[in-house]
Amino acid sequence: MSFVEEFIGILSSSFFYLLYTNQILLILFFFTLIFFIILRNIHVRNSTFFPDVISTLIKKITYQNQKKSVESRVGHYGELSKRQRVLPVIVPLFITIFIAYLILNHYVFLAIVTSGSMSPALEVEDLVLIQNLHVNPQQGEIIMFNTKKASMPVIHRVYSVSGDAIKTKGDAVAFPDDWTLKKEKIQGEAVLFQDKPIIVKNIGAYLLFDPNKVQITKYGSEMYRASQILKNVKKLGFTIFMICILLYIFLAASSKH
């Protein structure tokens, strides 16, 4: 018996053995054999097939990775651009609301000088910026306070501090005031810039009544019903402020589009 006959006999016996004992393994064997025959024929016809397939797979994997990287960067830049668009709107709006809160709660306000007792630092009809966020009167500071001896709040300088007793004096007056204050009577302190009060000159003239209705006291000219005018000014200021807020929001929203 020749070698070929012996080889064919071995294959035949192996085939029938697997056919009756393990058909699944036989099927897998045939599929594997067919697959390798196909690959051999392809390789013989085109020797660059496998390198081309591998190169294509590598390119696809690289492209997918690059695409994910680009999408990630685009998303990151998108988030940054959103922040850059939102911050210019949010920050000024937050600052505006914070300032409005201070003004509407009278933590910071403008007071009208109605007498010349503080000349030349403060003149009649000046507006002086007052704050009551932190009131700690010290000698030489300008404060605004209430006293029973004056019909309206007085703006004078602290002359001396002795425990809870505070003495005041106007710059244009030779002697200290004849009253003694307690801290709870103080409405606020003048806001200073470079050791000078922040004032707006001559604006008070548009907020006061006719001089014929002036009430005269020994502390200077007190304008009749000035407090009622201040209330009206505050209401008008609040209305203007709300209109400005609405316009700001509208313009900010329009700029996005």
Instruction: Identify the structural domains of the chain with CATH numbers, from first to last.
Output: 108-224 (2.10.109.10)
Burial class of residue 224 in the structure, from the number of CB atoms within 10 Å of its CB (0-12 exposed, 13-18 middle, 19+ buried): middle
Dihedral, 195, 203, 223, 176 alpha carbons, nearest 10: 10
pLDDT band at 102 (very low <50, low <70, confident <90, very high): confident
Token pair for residue 253?
């929203």
Most confident residue range from 134-138, 208-212, 235-239: 134-138
For residue 107, name the pLDDT band (cuts at 50, 70, 90): confident
What does the angle CA 188 – CA 189 – CA 191 come to, to the nearest 5 degrees?
125
The label of the residue with tokens 């014929």 reads: 212
pLDDT tens string 171-182 = 999 999 999 999
**pLDDT band at 53, cuts 50/70/90?**
low
* pLDDT for the residue numbered 236: 54
Query: What are the beta bridge partners of residue 90?
Result: none
Please tell me the predicted confidence (pLDDT) of residue 219. 45
CA distances to 18, 37, 139, 187, 222 from 4, in Å: 21, 21, 123, 119, 133
Say what the pLDDT of residue 218 is: 45
58: its two tokens = 């590598």
pLDDT surpasses 60 at 212: no
Q: Kindly report the three-state secondary structure assignment for every residue of 50-62.
A: HHHHHHHHHHHHH
E strand map for 101-228? 108-112, 127-131, 142-145, 154-162, 165-169, 186-190, 192-193, 196-197, 199-200, 214-217, 220-223
pTM: 0.50
- Measured CA to CA, the distance from residue 157 to residue 134 in angstroms comes to 17
Q: What is the pLDDT of residue 197?
A: 92
How many CB atoms are located within 10 Å of the residue 76 CB? 10
Contact present, 159 and 167 (Cβ < 8 Å)? yes
- Minimum mean pLDDT among 11-20, 109-118, 154-163, 184-193: which range? 11-20
Q: How much is the mean pLDDT over the chain? A: 72
Specify the pLDDT at position 148.
Answer: 86
CA dihedral for 221, 224, 228, 233, sign (positive or negative): negative
Q: How many CA atoms lie within 13 A of 185 on its CB side?
A: 19
Whether the pLDDT of residue 85 is over 60: the answer is yes
Q: Round to whole Å and give the CA distance between 217 and 221.
A: 6
